Amino acid sequence: MSVARIDARFAQLKAENRAAFVSYIMAGDPDLETSFDLLKGLVKAGADIIELGFPFSDPMAEGPIIQLAAERSLKNGTRMADVFALASRFREADAETPLILMGYMNPVENMGYPAFAEACAKAGVDGVIVVDCPPEEAERLIDALDAADVALIRLITPTSDDNRLKTLVKRTKGFVYYVSVAGVTGVKEADAEGISEAVAHVREVAKLPVVVGFGIKTPQRAAEVARIADGSVVGSVLVDAIAKSLLENSPSSTKVLETASLLAQAVRNARN
Amino acid sequence: MDDAILTNRYNMPDAKGRFGEFGGLYVPETLMPLVLELGEAWAQAKQDQAFWAEYLHLLKYFVGRPSPLYLAERLTEHFGGAKIYFKREELNHTGAHKINNCIGQILLARRMGRTRIIAETGAGQHGVASATVCAKFDLPCTVYMGALDVERQKPNVFRMQLMGTKVHPVTNGNGTLKDAMNEALRDWVTNVHDTYYMIGTAAGMHPYPEMVRDFQTIIGKETRQQILEAEGRLPDAVIACVGGGSNAIGMFHPFIDDESVKIVGVEAAGHGLDVYNGHAASLNGGRPGVLHGNRTYLLQDEDGQILEGHSISAGLDYPGIGPEHAHLFDTGRARYVYATDEEALEAFQLTSRLEGIIPALESSHAIARLGDLAKEIGKGGVIVLNLSGRGDKDIFTVAKALGQQMGNL
């Protein structure tokens, strides 16, 4: 399946003339059982694609919200093996929703590229985003992922010029992820109008669907992005809902799924 | 003479910033165009004689170079082996080798038209050096410093503030150098358009390991000339402490081709190498991985999560090491040993008493292994130790570790 699962999802979305609602949570935040409930719940709430973060101790491109999520997960003892077990459980329950792992290079290096790629394939993971692995350092990782039929999804940023863009989209599959603001996750708010041209250009060069993320905080913004891009990615808002529910001692999933549901509705209705 | 030094047969890194298997460029995409631009600007600057002329002029008149090569007679006598020389980097303006690099990088930042400087610091020496050059060149500067380090290096925090730098305490993680570097990188990702990141050690993504090294090799080049004048020959060994490794690579690099010269780096063994997460010896107690933009030896758990490590010396308290040291370690050209907190504290006091020089706790780690090396080389031999910084900043930490209170002296 794998790359085909991503392609099938975007084909379906295109047929329905709507953008993907892509939701992110961190595996093991605050614990693995809650993560499993959230993954299933997110699909019910309307998530078309799921990004599952694997925690790293030094996430250098994350704002405070995702940093704290990684800390909570690691404090709770989450290991890479747990992340893959969580992915497998989700895949057994859901054969259609693309699942993308997102994280940093060192845990991948530590496993070794072939072992990492095989673990992805075995767990039903369809794509991988490695934040600190530019194309210059990615060749051997892509070889391993290709052999396992897992996509390496690229982040493209406002700082990527035309030459850079061509380098970035080589050997990319599934979709590309346009980071709408220069900055860390979840801090600045994206300006939907300003990115419209950039998204169109990236789509033309990449010849793949373009999802947009970093700084989408409200249903309104998610809908605006859904009108111009092939998907709206929401992470920090959902993860922040987990953090808040922990402070209030209320069940994490209720608050997160309510938030996700509102965002999903907004994305689904954006083009009506 | 200069020509002979500059034409090392050893020629690292390659075009991709690799020292053998180590180094490289592992950064988020937002930073990639910037880092590539920095690489190009550096490649041009290093070919430009006017750039180096300005750098050398500032080193002479602002920093006070060349730093002396000093025969440490009483320590030589104390250890009873090879003759021991100190390369007196602690006599530089701001009290450590860090300024050599900051002078070079501020000239590059200016050349690139950057209007804002950020830096990370552990012991505060690089922070002070950054604050110094930013004051001199009238550029706003923000220094990220772990909250624990802010606490243990207060005099340096005050010095930075005096020179108009904003010190930003970082509370994430353990509140040490690694966390400060994460936060500086986040600032850079957010302020890509105008900001220059002045990394303080020969680590991080390409071109920093090469560039910082090239700004620090002034140490080894001067040493070569000075030891030839003093002894009429090259030393039998050079020794330096290694955290990120910039003072060490600055001393080592000009000697890499001289096979007769033993090269010895000293890592911080904290509470001891056998204490889990209780040391900062990335080579002797870690394994390869990727952090802060480069592939190198790291302190990490079985799952690839980075350990905080520990050293009494804030400047060595870092879970990684510059990629060139990783390469020299793997190829065996340099030998890396280690010293514990306790050994460093002893060396700190010994040097103060015998030589009338209070060394930085960082440099004290290298001094702690001097006795072994002096014996190994033996009488008639010559060793040069890079005395990378002065210890004034450490007196509170040392007093506390020795159970003395400043107020009761």
Same-domain pairing of B144 and B224: no
Residues in chain B closer than 8 A to A57 (CB atoms): 173, 305-306
Instruction: Say yes or no for a CB contact (<8 Å) between A110 and B289.
Output: yes
Query: ∠ CA A79-A82-A85 to the nearest 5 degrees?
Result: 155
- Among B212, B236, B252, identify where a domain stops: B212
* Closest CA–CA distance from residue A53 to any residue of chain B (Å): 14
Which residue segments constitute the domains of chain A, with CATH numbers given? 3-268 (3.20.20.70)
Q: Could you tell me which residues are beta bridge partners of residue B270?
A: B340
Q: Does B56 lie in the same domain as B166?
A: yes
Residues B105 and B74 in one domain: no
pLDDT digits (tens, 9 = 90+) for B314-334: 889 899 999 999 999 999 999
Q: Flag if B33 and A179 touch (Cβ within 8 Å).
A: no
The overall average pLDDT reported for chain A is 94
Calculate the alpha carbon distances from A36 to A27, A29, A96, A150, B312 in Å: 8, 10, 16, 22, 42
Within-domain flag for B9: no
Please give the tally of structural domains in chain B.
2
Q: Please state the φ and ψ torsions of residue B142, each to the nearest 5 degrees.
A: -120, 130
Spatial distance between the Cα atoms of B101 and B213, rounded to a whole number of angstroms: 8
Q: What percent of chain A has pLDDT over 70?
A: 98
Contact A88, A123 (CB under 8 A): yes
Helix and strand numbers (H, E) in chain B are 18, 14
Q: Are residues B203 and B221 in the same domain?
A: no
| Residue B389, helix vs strand vs coil | strand
Please identify every stretch of chain B with a pLDDT value under 70, giving residue numbers as ranges: 1-8, 407-409
- A123, A151 contact by CB (below 8 A): no
Check A56 against B305: CB less than 8 A apart: yes
Partner-chain contact A61 B189, CB within 8 Å: yes
| Helix, strand, or coil (residue A86) | helix
Same-domain pairing of B329 and B208: no
| Contact check, Cβ <8 Å, B32/A134 | yes
Does B47 share its domain with B68? no
Residues B224 and B370 grouped into a single domain: yes
User: CA-to-CA distance for B102 and B97, rounded, in angstroms?
Assistant: 10
Q: How many whole angstroms separate alpha carbon B185 and alpha carbon B208?
A: 13
Name the closest residue on chain A to residue B22, using Cα atoms. Answer: A137
CA atoms B110, B113, B115, B120: torsion sign: negative
Q: What is the pLDDT at residue B92?
A: 98
Same domain, B91 and B102: no
For residue A194, pLDDT beyond 80: no
Give pLDDT, residue B5.
41
B226 and B183, same structural domain?
Answer: no
- pLDDT tens, residue by residue, A244-269: 999 988 887 889 999 999 999 999 99
Asked if pLDDT for residue A207 goes beyond 60, the answer is: yes
CB of B398 closer than 8 Å to CB of B361: yes
Nearest to A184 among B24, B189, B304 (CB): B189
Give the pLDDT confidence score for residue B123 in this predicted structure.
83
DSSP state of B408: G
| Of residues A56, A131, A168, nearest to B28 (C-beta) | A131
Residues 107-166 of A with CB under 8 A from B: 107-111, 131-134, 136-137, 154-161, 164
In a domain, B260, yes or no: yes
- What residues of chain B, 275 to 304, have a C-beta less than 8 Å from chain A? 288-293, 295, 298, 300, 302-304
- Determine, yes or no, domain membership for B386: yes
Burial profile B336-357: b = 16 or more Cβ within 10 angstroms, e = fewer: bbbbbbebbbebbebbbeebeb
Secondary structure (DSSP) of A131-180: TT--GGGTHHHHHHHHHTT-EEPPEE-TT--HHHHHHHHTT--S-EEEE-
Report if residue B7 sits inside a domain. no
Angle (deg, nearest 10), helices A113-122 and A80-93: 30
- Asked if A7 and A172 count as a contact pair (C-beta separation under 8 A), the reply is no
**A139 has a pLDDT exceeding 50:** yes
Q: Which residues of B touch A106 (CB under 8 A)?
A: 289-291, 298, 300, 304-306
B323 at A interface, C-beta within 8 A: no
Q: Tell me the shortest Cα–Cα distance from B112 to chain A, in angstroms.
A: 17
Q: For residue A48, give both structure tokens.
A: 């078309």
Q: What are phi and psi of A94, to 5 degrees?
A: -145, 110
> By the 8 A CB rule, do B210 and B216 touch?
no
Put simply, the chain B residues between 186 and 205 with a CB less than 8 A from any chain A CB are 186, 189-190, 192-193
Domain interval for residue B117: 19-61+98-212
Dist CA B334 CA B188 (whole Å): 34
Q: What is the CATH number of the domain that holds B120?
A: 3.40.50.1100
Q: Which residues of A are catalytic?
A: 51, 62
CA distance B318 to B244: 7
- Work out the burial of residue B220: count CB atoms within 10 Å of its CB; fewer than 13 is exposed, 13-18 middle, 19 or more buried: buried
Phi/psi of residue B364, each to 5°? Answer: -60, -25
Tell me whether residue B315 is in a domain: yes
Mutate one of A58, A108, A129, A131 to test the B interface: name it (highest B CB count within 10 A).
Answer: A58
DSSP states along A23-84? EEEETTSS-HHHHHHHHHHHHHHT-SEEEEE---S--TT--HHHHHHHHHHHHTT--HHHHH
Is residue B404 assigned to a domain?
yes
CB nearest to B304's CB, from A59, A106, A157: A106
Q: Is residue B162 part of a domain?
A: yes
Cα–Cα distance, B89 to B67 (Å, whole number): 6
pLDDT on residue B192: 86
Q: Does the beta-carbon distance from A159 to B182 stay under 8 Å? A: no
Do B183 and B176 meet the contact criterion of CB atoms below 8 Å apart? no
Burial class (CB in 10 A: 0-12, 13-18, 19+), A31: middle
Task: Indicate the helix (H) or strand (E) that contains A121.
Answer: helix A113-122
Residue to mutate among B305, B306, B308, B318, with most A CBs inside 10 A, is B305
Q: Does B121 touch chain A (CB under 8 A)?
A: no
Interchain contact, B305 vs A107, CB within 8 Å: yes
- Please state the φ and ψ torsions of residue A23, each to the nearest 5 degrees: -120, 145
ipTM (interface pTM): 0.95
Please give the Cα distance from A39 to A100 (Å, whole number). Answer: 12
Task: Please give the average per-residue pLDDT across A180-193, as a whole number.
Answer: 74
Domain annotation covers residue B257: yes
- From B197, B212, B227, the end of a domain falls on B212
Asked if residue B131 and residue B235 are part of one domain, the reply reads no
3-class secondary structure, B63: helix
Between the alpha carbon of residue A220 and those of residues A43, A269, B60, the distances in Å are 20, 11, 60
Residues B194 and B342 in one domain: no
Per-residue pLDDT, B407 = 67
Do B205 and B258 belong together in one domain?
no
In angstroms, the CA B7 to CA B20 distance is 19
Active site residue B388: yes
- Determine contact: A189 vs chain B, CB below 8 A: no
Q: What's at A271, amino acid-wise? A: R
Please choose, from the candidates B267, B281, B270, B279, the residue with its C-alpha nearest in 3D space to the C-alpha of residue B401: B270
Cα–Cα distance list, A62 to A57, A95, B155, B157 (Å): 11, 30, 31, 27
* Closest chain B residue by Cα to residue A157: B30
Domain boundary among B187, B212, B237: B212
When mean pLDDT is compared over A184-188, A194-198, B48-52, B145-149, the highest value belongs to B48-52
Beta bridge partner(s), residue B185 = none
